[in-house]
């Protein structure tokens, strides 16, 4: 598969929306609104004074119960609409056959190409005028043929015609110039391939034809067609014939929604049930249901709401300013995308929900229950999944929020005793867990939070009037248990965040680096040479990554798995060969295909074993689109020896890519080359090791392999220097130092 085909495949596997939403400004603004709502709604019950009205259109000041059972028509209507809205839009598939268009095209080509009375230029004009119209003509004919059938509505046919025609494909003009030169044998072979490709792709439900068209090149290149011209023509004609086959059925959707409305059970307020809840707006329908019940009214002030809104905006500002200031790499690329922001929002939501749940059990008689809240859950999760410094900033937000939520003094807004305890336990948990390499560290962090929380509560109690013994014991006990609950919750929640958001935490990386992992055991037993090479690459890449502030652990574990694809054909890779090299007896193009396939094979194996995407990316990207020059020049020499002109280019002897998208993938790629190159040196010296490393980095830089990641020239220099030092440390006994070289020369 050539590089263009691979890029098409990658684009098909990763839809643009999946990547664009993470950087979308609109999504980011929506998340900011969610943050404000989260703060506002959590603080509103504790800060906004409640007032009630007894007039129409205002809020009720008390619960009003029903004296007999009756239907709540408003609630019933809302339930019906909710039921209707819950019905997903129904889509219907239609038996569209793109192969019919292709057969018509190839029939026309067969007949016209055999007509010697028509000149080539006239044939080109005929093809240019007729072939593009076959697509719309087929759609119109399908509408005419199926119009009036009971199983296909006119609205569906109209929707099909509109959508299908809007997704028509414009065949490039150069294709029509190639058609007159096609022989009957070529046309027959092309027809078979094109029809098979169209049938295979149209067998699935297609909403967007462009998605299926993106897969055409890969299928055609894997077909029996060997000539470039016939492949290109088949690709374009197949793309032209493909069309969506699944469309929104508005009639069926509306019918299903109406059925959902009819099947909705009426909402009945039973005798003794609440008709108007405290604070609910009283409508005319409610007044009719109340049947003369009295109403309570009063004026309402909106200044507290404004104050709370400003407070919520300030909380948001604190978080966003920190994220902007510390979360930009080199002042250019944002470190935190919308996925990270949503995960941060979700962590805040969970932590505040735990506080609110604890506050429900709190009362003025037992205020110390507030110490039971596992407030450090949020800061520990942020530390493990995002960033330690962000966790520190968040701990202040949690502390202020907690001091409001757990406050029971109507004369105060904040009770800073709870805020101070939350700060202390959060800090103790952060600095215990931020370098966690085992899940048992989370338990240790919970124990530290328990101890520091109990000590902090004891200090606060001793500063005021000494409470009774029971209150003292309860306060200390709740503070201590809080840390243990925190550890249990974090251990339970970590896998959820890791799987849901694709976060590769340090804990997960350490687990994946275990030599007993099935893939690493497979690598060791089946390809010991590759295993040793991967371990060496891991040591080199980790040192280089840490030197520039990248994720060294990710580089090391990624290196362990980066060549796992070699286990499919171990004998074709030099580190696993002990005798004859099989590449000496096969075609260079086949050798190239085998070598480049290990990256793709590795990604598939990693997917099958559920290895997270960052590690799969390293396996896929560590070679980028680099060239296999050895096999290219070998192929050129063979062509020269046979006296034929090469029918290939150097680009066909490149890895399919993509290029490294992250610093870590680029570093592993450099370390991979460096380790292999050093191992190939018979008598390595410091000078030729340094020269070799510089040459590898410069070669990749000149080839544009770092264009899609954020490595700077300064960082590349640092990587080169670090790799030199690491290589000297690892291969110490093999590398000759300048003094040793001089001594040997003197002895000689």
- In angstroms, the Cα distances linking 501 to 30, 340, 391 are 19, 8, 18
Cα dihedral: 274, 275, 278, 279 (round 10): 150
Task: Please report the pLDDT score of residue 51 as a whole number.
Answer: 40
Within a domain: residue 443? yes
CATH number at residue 536: 1.10.3210
Same domain, 643 and 497: no
707 located within any domain: yes
Q: Is residue 6 part of a domain?
A: no
Tell me what pLDDT residue 4 has: 34
Burial profile 148-165: b = 16 or more Cβ within 10 angstroms, e = fewer:
eeeebeeebbebbbebbe
Final residue before a domain boundary, out of 503, 519, 540: 503
Instruction: Please give the distance of CA 196 from its chain centroid, rounded to a whole number.
Output: 33
Confidence (pLDDT) at 748: 31
Tokens 């966690």 label which residue? Answer: 436
Characterise 439 by phi-psi region: left (phi > 0), alpha (psi -120 to 50), beta (else): alpha
Enclosing domain of residue 530: 508-747
What is the C-alpha separation between 411 and 362, in angstroms, rounded? 18
Tokens 């109406």 -> residue: 258
Structure letter (DSSP) for residue 309: H
Handedness of CA 726, 732, 735, 737 (dihedral sign): positive
Contact 343, 385 (CB under 8 A): yes
How many domains in the chain?
3
DSSP states of 70-110: EE-HHHHHHHHHHHHHHSPPPEEE----HHHHHHHHHHHHH
461 assigned to some structural domain: yes
* Whole-number pLDDT of residue 354: 93
**Residue 366 forms beta bridges with which residues?**
363
Give the DSSP letter of residue 64.
E
Domain boundary (503, 522, 554) is at: 503
Q: Please, what is the average pLDDT of the chain? A: 80
- How many Cα atoms sit within 13 Å of 584 on the Cβ side? 5
Report pLDDT for 39. Answer: 93
Q: Going from the first residue of the chain to its last (748 residues), give the mean pLDDT of each consecutive group of 10, the final group possibly shorter.
A: 36 47 84 93 77 53 53 73 78 83 88 86 88 87 83 80 86 88 87 88 85 87 86 88 82 78 74 62 60 37 82 92 66 65 93 91 80 90 87 92 82 83 92 73 87 90 80 88 91 84 76 84 86 88 88 87 85 72 77 84 88 87 85 79 76 85 90 85 77 89 86 90 83 50 34
What was the pLDDT predicted at 301? Answer: 55
Mark whether 154 and 234 lie in a shared domain.
yes
Residues 646 and 523 grouped into a single domain:
yes
pLDDT value of residue 289: 54
* Domain co-membership, 341 together with 460: yes
Chain centroid, CA 371 distance in Å:
37
- Could you tell me if 84 and 321 are in contact, meaning their C-beta atoms sit under 8 angstroms apart? no
Residues 123, 215: one domain? yes
What is the C-alpha separation between 124 and 131, in angstroms, rounded?
A: 11
**Tokens in use for 96?**
């569209």
Q: How far is CA 342 from the centre of its chain?
A: 12
Q: Do residue 461 and residue 515 come from a single domain?
A: no
116 in the same domain as 180: yes
Q: How far apart are CA 416 and CA 228, in angstroms?
A: 75
Q: Is 340 exposed, middle or buried (0-12, 13-18, 19+ CB in 10 A)?
A: buried
- Domain annotation covers residue 637: yes
Q: Is residue 463 part of a domain?
A: yes
Assessment of whether the complete model's pTM goes beyond 0.85: no
pLDDT score at 69? 53
The CATH number that applies at residue 462 is 1.10.1760.20
For 91, phi then psi, to 5°, come to -115, 140
The vertex-439 CA angle with 371 and 492, nearest 5°, equals 60
Tokens linked to 66: 């029903």
* 164, two tokens: 């299908």
Instruction: Classify residue 213 as exposed, middle or buried by CB count within 10 Å of its CB (0-12, 13-18, 19+).
Output: buried
- In angstroms, what CA-CA distances link 486 with 116, 221, 440, 482? 85, 56, 13, 6
**Is residue 168, in this structure, part of any structural domain at all?**
yes
HSE on the CB side for 132, CA within 13 Å? 14
**Element spanning 743, H or E:** helix 738-747
The answer to whether residues 492 and 532 belong to one domain is no
Q: 476 and 564: one domain?
A: no
Q: 654 and 531 in one domain? A: yes
Q: Whole-angstrom Cα distance, residue 328 to residue 345?
A: 19
Regarding whether 610 and 676 lie in a shared domain, the answer is yes
Q: Tell me the three state secondary structure of residue 170.
A: coil
Q: Is the CB of residue 715 less than 8 Å from the CB of residue 708?
A: no
What are the start-end ranges of the H helices in 580-643?
A: 588-608, 613-621, 629-642
Last residue of a domain, one of 449, 471, 503: 503
CA-to-CA dists, residue 133 to 127, 508, 668, angstroms: 10, 56, 51
Q: Contact, 98 vs 242, CB < 8 A?
A: yes
Same domain, 491 and 544: no
Tell the residue number behind the tokens 């200090």, with chain if given: 459
Q: 81-136 pLDDT, tens per residue?
A: 887 777 777 777 788 888 888 888 888 888 888 888 888 888 888 888 888 888 88
Q: Which two tokens stand for residue 319?
A: 């978080």
Task: Read off the pLDDT of residues 170-199 as tens digits, 9 standing for 90 and up.
Answer: 888 888 888 888 888 888 888 898 899 888
14 assigned to some structural domain: no
């Amino acid at each position: 598969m050539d590089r263009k085909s691979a890029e098409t495949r990658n684009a098909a596997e990763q839809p643009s929306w999946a990547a664009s939403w993470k950087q979308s400004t609109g999504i980011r603004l929506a998340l900011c609104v969610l943050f404000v709502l989260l703060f506002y709604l959590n603080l509103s019950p504790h800060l906004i004074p409640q007032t009630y009205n007894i007039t129409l259109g205002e809020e009720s000041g008390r619960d009003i119960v029903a004296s007999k059972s009756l239907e709540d028509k408003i609630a019933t209507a809302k339930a019906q609409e909710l039921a209707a809205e819950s019905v997903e839009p129904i889509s219907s598939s239609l038996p569209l056959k793109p192969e019919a268009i292709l057969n018509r095209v190839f029939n026309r080509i067969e007949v016209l190409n055999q007509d010697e009375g028509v000149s080539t230029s006239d044939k080109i004009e005929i093809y240019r005028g007729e072939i593009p119209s076959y697509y719309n003509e087929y759609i119109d004919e399908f509408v005419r043929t199926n119009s009036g059938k009971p199983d296909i509505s006119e609205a569906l046919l109209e929707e099909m015609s509109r959508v299908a025609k809007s997704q028509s494909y414009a065949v490039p003009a150069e294709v029509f110039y190639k058609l007159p030169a096609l022989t009957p044998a070529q046309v027959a072979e092309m027809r078979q391939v094109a029809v098979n490709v169209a049938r295979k792709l149209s067998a699935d439900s297609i909403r967007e034809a462009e998605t299926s068209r993106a897969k055409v090149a890969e299928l055609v290149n894997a077909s029996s067609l060997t000539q470039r011209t016939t492949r290109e023509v088949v690709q374009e004609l197949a793309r032209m014939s493909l069309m969506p086959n699944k469309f929104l059925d508005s009639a069926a959707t509306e019918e299903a929604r109406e059925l959902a409305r009819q099947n909705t059970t009426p909402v009945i307020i039973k005798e003794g049930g609440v008709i108007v809840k405290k604070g609910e707006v009283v409508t005319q329908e409610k007044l009719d249901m109340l049947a003369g019940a009295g109403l309570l009214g009063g004026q309402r002030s909106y200044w507290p709401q404004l104050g709370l809104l400003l407070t919520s905006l300030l909380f948001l500002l604190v978080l966003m300013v920190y994220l902007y200031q510390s979360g930009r790499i080199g002042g250019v690329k944002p470190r935190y995308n919308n996925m990270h922001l949503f995960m941060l929002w979700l962590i805040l939501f969970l932590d505040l929900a735990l506080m609110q749940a604890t506050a429900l059990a709190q009362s003025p008689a037992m205020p110390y229950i507030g110490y039971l809240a596992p407030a450090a859950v949020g800061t520990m999760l942020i530390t493990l999944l995002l960033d330690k410094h962000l966790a520190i900033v968040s701990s202040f937000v949690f502390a202020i929020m907690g001091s409001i939520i757990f406050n029971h003094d109507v004369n105060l807004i904040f009770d800073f005793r709870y805020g101070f305890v939350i700060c202390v336990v959060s800090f103790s948990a952060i600095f215990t867990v931020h370098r966690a390499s085992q899940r048992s560290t989370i338990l240790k962090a919970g124990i530290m939070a328990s101890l520091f929380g109990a000590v902090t509560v004891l200090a606060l109690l001793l500063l005021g009037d000494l409470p009774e013994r029971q209150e003292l014991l309860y306060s200390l006990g709740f503070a201590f248990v809080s840390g243990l609950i925190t550890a249990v919750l974090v251990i339970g929640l970590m896998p959820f965040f890791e799987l849901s958001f694709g976060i590769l935490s340090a804990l997960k990386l350490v687990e994946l680096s275990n030599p007993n992992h099935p893939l690493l055991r497979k690598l060791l037993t089946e390809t010991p040479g590759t295993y040793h090479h991967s371990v060496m690459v891991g040591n080199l890449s980790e040192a280089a990554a840490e030197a520039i502030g990248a994720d060294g652990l990710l580089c090391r574990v990624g290196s362990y798995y980066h060549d796992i694809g070699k286990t499919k054909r171990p004998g074709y890779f030099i580190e696993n060969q002990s005798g004859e090299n099989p590449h000496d007896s096969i075609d260079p193009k086949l050798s190239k295909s085998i070598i480049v396939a290990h990256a793709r094979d590795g990604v598939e194996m990693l997917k099958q074993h559920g290895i997270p995407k960052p590690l799969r990316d390293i396996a896929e990207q560590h070679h980028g689109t680099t060239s296999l020059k050895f096999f290219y020049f070998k192929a050129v020499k063979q062509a020269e020896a046979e006296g034929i002109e090469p029918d290939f280019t150097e680009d066909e002897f490149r890895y399919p890519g993509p290029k490294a998208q992250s610093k870590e993938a680029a570093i592993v790629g450099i370390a991979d080359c460096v380790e292999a190159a050093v191992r190939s040196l018979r008598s390595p010296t410091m000078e030729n090791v340094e020269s070799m490393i510089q040459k590898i980095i410069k070669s990749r830089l000149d080839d544009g392999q770092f264009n899609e990641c954020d490595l700077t020239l300064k960082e590349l220099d640092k990587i080169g220097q670090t790799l030199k030092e690491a290589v000297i440390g690892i291969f110490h006994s093999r590398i000759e130092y300048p003094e040793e070289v001089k001594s040997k020369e003197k002895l000689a």
